[in-house]
Amino acid sequence: MKEFGYTIIKQRTIDYDQFNGRLLNEILLMEPSFKVCLSCGGCTATCSAGDLVNFNIRRMNLLLRRGETAELESEIQKCMLCGKCMLVCPRGINLRNVIMLIKKNISRNKTTKY
Amino acid sequence: MKHIVIIGGGIAGIETASALTDAGHWVTVIEKDTRVGGKLNNWSYLFPDFTPAEKIAESLLEKCREKDFSILPDTEVKAIIRNQDKFNIHTSGNQNLEADAIVLATGYELFDARRKEEYGYKIYDQVVTSADLEQLLRPGESLTVAAGKNPKRIAFVHCVGSRDEKTGNHYCSKVCCITGVKQAIELKKRLPEAEIFCFYMDLRMYGKHFEELYREAQEKYDIQFIRGRLSEASEKIDKSLLIKAEDTLSGRPLKMNVDLLVLLVGMEAGKGTASAAFSCGVNCEESGFLKSMDSLLRSNISQQEGIFLAGSCTAPMSLNDTLLHARSAAIEVNNYLKKSIK
Ligand SMILES: Cc1cc2nc3c(=O)[nH]c(=O)nc-3n(C[C@H](O)[C@H](O)[C@H](O)COP(=O)(O)OP(=O)(O)OC[C@H]3O[C@@H](n4cnc5c(N)ncnc54)[C@H](O)[C@@H]3O)c2cc1C
Ligand code: SF4
Ligand code: SF4
Ligand code: SF4
């Protein structure tokens, strides 16, 4: 039988019904400024870590918002907490605190999905 | 005959004056500049249909000539004193005017791009604002960069001084997205060889024909739109600029070398509006623009009885919207004066 390769495509639909928002909600409670991110990418463009390795801080925010905690946990370690991203953020988000909160709370709140 | 004093002789002020004169009132316009017309005098071709700004300015002057209202150029308001249902207005030219109603049409000021230091305006030679570019696009002007060469690659930065907590301006300036599209097309017409990019956060093509112009920019002029906010620009030895952004749709940081960087500067209420508002006790919003009774039914009516608002002193707006807002201000003033006759 012809191999169409369907099986190697992992499931990429965001299944929002499976989304466990606990970590996100905790973080929004402690750092409400994070609510207003408009995904402009200014932070990623200037990020010191992103200059050296493959790291996209804006995307971390999105992973958090979609409950994709497994990838988030390993990626977030790349941040050097320099705070440069906060200098350009047009929405004045305290990103460093968001990152700290992710690091602190992620292991407790891991979801099994993804 | 009722006397109405209009402060500000831009599009808004002149249109209000013209409509109120038609309605049979005596109107005086106070303009701090030597010329009337406001910002329009600085622009080249206008969105959405590339009408030369001069043509509109000329028809404005025509209105001033043929209608019987007076203009006091080079004049500012010193003090306004309410005297029962009239106002006494003292001007910088030492005149005293008595008015039955006042219209504030003081317009806006451009955001000072030096405040976004990371983009290098007035630090690097090849960084200009959209307002500078309007001048460069006027007939007879030529567009060259260092060493007299034509710019090969040009980038526009959206939302400079708007939607930005760092500058204290949270609002959207509304017209700069379409201004960027207009100017990108104008540049491409003059420099067909150039590559042109617009770096945006959201594209706001809210008006009639705007979306079509955006499409034309892509289809006919090969303008490229990249979704991402510039974090900084730096100058290289050859005076070209290295810009950094994230290409958010592909999720990767992006670097680009450009010969010219155009900053689409936003609008601010500015000093002219603030001082006029202060002199007659009209309130400002948090943004600095003038506050009306409400934003739906009474957007031309200030919280001070007898004082009305017209045009971009209330919020960023295009010429089109300014004209409409000015005409509706005239209707409100007329209604008010009719009521006070009884
Ligand atoms: C770069 C750029 C390009 C643009 N291009 C277009 C375009 O192509 N098409 C379009 O539709 N719109 C365009 N616009 C928008 C356009 O400029 C505005 O819609 C228009 O200028 C608003 O008119 P206005 O009369 O409300 O304000 P203004 O044009 O600002 O006029 C206000 C007038 O009041 C005077 N004034 C201010 N304070 C006082 C005071 N205290 N006392 C006395 N006088 C005072 C000022 O000197 C000025 O003459 C552009 C804007 C920008 C920034
Ligand atoms: S604090 Fe972290 S995410 Fe922000 S710029 Fe520095 S390394 Fe990048
Ligand atoms: S700079 Fe601020 S608003 Fe823009 S993507 Fe980063 S966190 Fe969000
Ligand atoms: S009109 Fe466009 S460029 Fe101007 S502030 Fe709004 S979104 Fe930004």
Q: What is the Cα–Cα distance from B36 to B62, expressed in whole angstroms?
A: 12
Token pair belonging to B50 = 């590339």
Residue ranges with strand state E in B112-228 = 127-129, 153-160, 195-200, 224-227
Cα separation, B44 vs B218, whole angstroms: 22
The reported pLDDT for the residue numbered A6 is: 56
Mean pLDDT of B109-120: 98
Pocket of ligand 3 contains residue A37 by CB under 6 Å: yes
Residue A40 in contact with ligand 3 by CB distance below 6 A? yes
For the stretch A48-95, pLDDT in tens is 999 899 999 999 888 888 888 888 888 999 999 999 999 999 999 999
Query: If you average pLDDT over residues B139-145, what whole number do you get?
Result: 77
Q: Is B84 left (phi over 0), alpha (psi -120 to 50) or beta?
A: left
Which residues of chain B are within 8 Å of residue A39 when distances are taken between CB atoms? 248
* Residue B342, pLDDT above cutoff 80: no
- pTM value is 0.95
What is the average per-residue pLDDT within B133-161? Answer: 87
Asked if B118's CB is within 8 angstroms of A41's CB, the reply is no
Q: Dihedrals φ, ψ of A71, to 5°?
A: -65, -40
> Within 13 Å and on the Cβ side, how many CA atoms surround B137?
29
Instruction: Spell out the domain ranges in chain A.
Output: 38-108
Q: Chain A: give the shortest CA distance to residue B193, in Å.
A: 28
Looking up tokens 């994230």 gives: B246
Domains and CATH numbers, chain B: 3-108+269-341 (3.50.50.60), 113-266 (3.50.50.60)
Q: Which residue has the tokens 């979306």?
A: B211
Q: How far is the CA of B22 from the centre of ligand 3 (A)?
A: 51
> ipTM more than 0.85?
yes
Dist CA A76 CA A106 (whole Å):
10
The pairing of beta strand B109-110 with beta strand B252-258: unpaired
How high does pLDDT run on average in chain B? 95
Burial class (CB in 10 A: 0-12, 13-18, 19+), B280: buried
For residue B315 and ligand 1, the question of a CB distance below 6 A is answered with: no
Q: B252 CA to chain A: closest CA distance, Å?
A: 7
Work out whether strand B127-129 and strand B260-265 pair parallel, antiparallel, or are unpaired: parallel
Assess whether pLDDT exceeds 80 at residue A30: yes
